[in-house]
């Protein structure tokens, strides 16, 4: 199947619920992992991979594909879920998350045949890779495809990111889009308390970026933000950042906006409660459609 496909809000909501099921399933079986930030980025990933990026899981190394770089490299439960649900990874592999010998390690390892463009781990490193890819595309004058990078608000505490952000504007990388998953929580607490980075939008504007603010859980708003980037990439010589306001642990009531779910796996009872909630959401959505 080739992507992108047309935007269908109901279908994307159902896909987001399935992703959330995948996230808690993987972390349950591994006994570890990062569900909180995966859940906050679910709508971003489901819109991007289904309705925005040009890619084809049957031809994963096609030269004309858009590139996706995961800067917040710990949210692999969400990343592996969308790769599975778009055809890059067998669904049966998800329960092998973080297991010895599995391709689905805690942080991504580069496997372009499975849609993983770059290994990841240490925050603050991979956005420079995204800039390099975008620069290479510009140099080769192959602007038909774009580079998308998913970062976190806490990751913006890393100084190397700001060097790359400055370089992206200097080299006019209008084919580059950073998405900031702004959930205001990191492993040790509130981002604003640990190392405040606000106002994010004004800082990017000062670095000569196009800035789009969006509710990161509103599927249509996220889709419109990406379409705005596509328009800006044609009419502006600046890179674009989409600042998505999100809630860590979104979709599961007892995980939502709780710092402790940054890197904690659910036990069986918590998993069962999560699935019950998600199945109820699914049922209501189908009944009301």
Q: How far apart are CA 189 and CA 258, in angstroms?
A: 9
- Which pLDDT score is estimated for 194? 86
Interval 12-54: pLDDT, tens: 999 999 999 999 999 999 999 999 999 999 999 999 999 999 9
Interval 205-256: pLDDT, tens: 999 999 999 999 999 999 999 999 999 999 999 999 999 999 999 999 999 9
At 89, the pLDDT band (50, 70, 90 cuts) reads: very high
Q: What is the mean pLDDT of the chain?
A: 95
Q: 183 burial class (0-12, 13-18, 19+ CB within 10 angstroms)?
A: buried
- Which pLDDT score is estimated for 143? 61
At 190, the pLDDT band (50, 70, 90 cuts) reads: confident
Tell me how far CA of residue 208 lies from CA of 52, 202, 238, in angstroms. Answer: 24, 10, 7
pTM, entire model: 0.96
- Which pLDDT score is estimated for 267? 97
At 1, the pLDDT band (50, 70, 90 cuts) reads: confident
Tokens 């190397």 found at: 160
Q: Which two tokens stand for residue 201?
A: 């939008």
Cα 179–chain centre separation: 8
Task: Count the neighbouring beta carbons within 10 Å of the beta carbon of residue 6.
Answer: 7
Backbone torsions φ then ψ of 225, nearest 5 degrees: -65, -45
Quick check: 182 pLDDT over 70?
yes
Task: Count the neighbouring beta carbons within 10 Å of the beta carbon of residue 229.
Answer: 25
Report, as an integer, the average pLDDT of 99-119. Answer: 93
- Which pLDDT score is estimated for 197? 93
Quick check: 152 pLDDT over 80?
yes
Question: Which residue ranges make up each domain of the chain?
Answer: 9-288
CATH fit for domain 9-288, picks 2.40.170.20, 1.10.10.10, 2.60.40.10, 3.40.50.970:
3.40.50.970
């Amino acid at each position: 199947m080739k992507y992108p496909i047309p935007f269908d809000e109901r279908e994307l909501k159902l896909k987001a619920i399935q992703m959330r099921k995948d996230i808690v399933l993987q972390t349950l079986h591994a006994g570890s992992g990062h569900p909180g930030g995966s859940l906050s980025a679910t709508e971003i990933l489901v819109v991007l991979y289904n309705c925005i990026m040009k890619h084809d899981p049957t031809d994963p190394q096609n030269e004309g594909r858009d590139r996706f770089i995961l800067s917040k490299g710990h949210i692999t439960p969400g990343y592996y879920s969308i790769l599975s649900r778009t055809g890059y990874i067998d669904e049966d592999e998800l329960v092998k998350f973080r297991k010895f010998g599995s391709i689905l390690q805690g942080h991504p390892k580069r496997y372009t045949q499975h849609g993983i463009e770059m290994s990841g781990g240490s925050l603050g490193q991979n956005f420079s890779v995204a800039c390099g890819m975008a620069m290479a595309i510009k140099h080769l004058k192959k602007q038909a495809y774009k580079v998308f990078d998913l970062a976190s608000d806490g990751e913006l505490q890393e100084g190397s990111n700001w060097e790359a952000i400055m370089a992206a504007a200097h080299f006019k990388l209008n084919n580059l889009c950073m998405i900031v998953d702004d959930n205001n929580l990191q492993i040790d607490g509130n981002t604003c308390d640990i190392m405040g980075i606000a106002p994010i939008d004004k800082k990017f504007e000062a670095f000569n970026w196009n800035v789009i603010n969006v509710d990161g859980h509103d599927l249509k708003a996220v889709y419109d933000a990406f379409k705005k980037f596509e328009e800006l990439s044609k009419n502006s010589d600046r890179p674009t950042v989409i600042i998505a306001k999100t809630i860590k642990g979104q979709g599961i009531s007892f995980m939502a906006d709780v710092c402790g779910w940054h890197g904690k796996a659910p036990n069986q009872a918590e998993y069962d409660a999560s699935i019950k909630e998600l199945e109820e959401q699914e049922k209501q959505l189908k009944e009301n459609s």
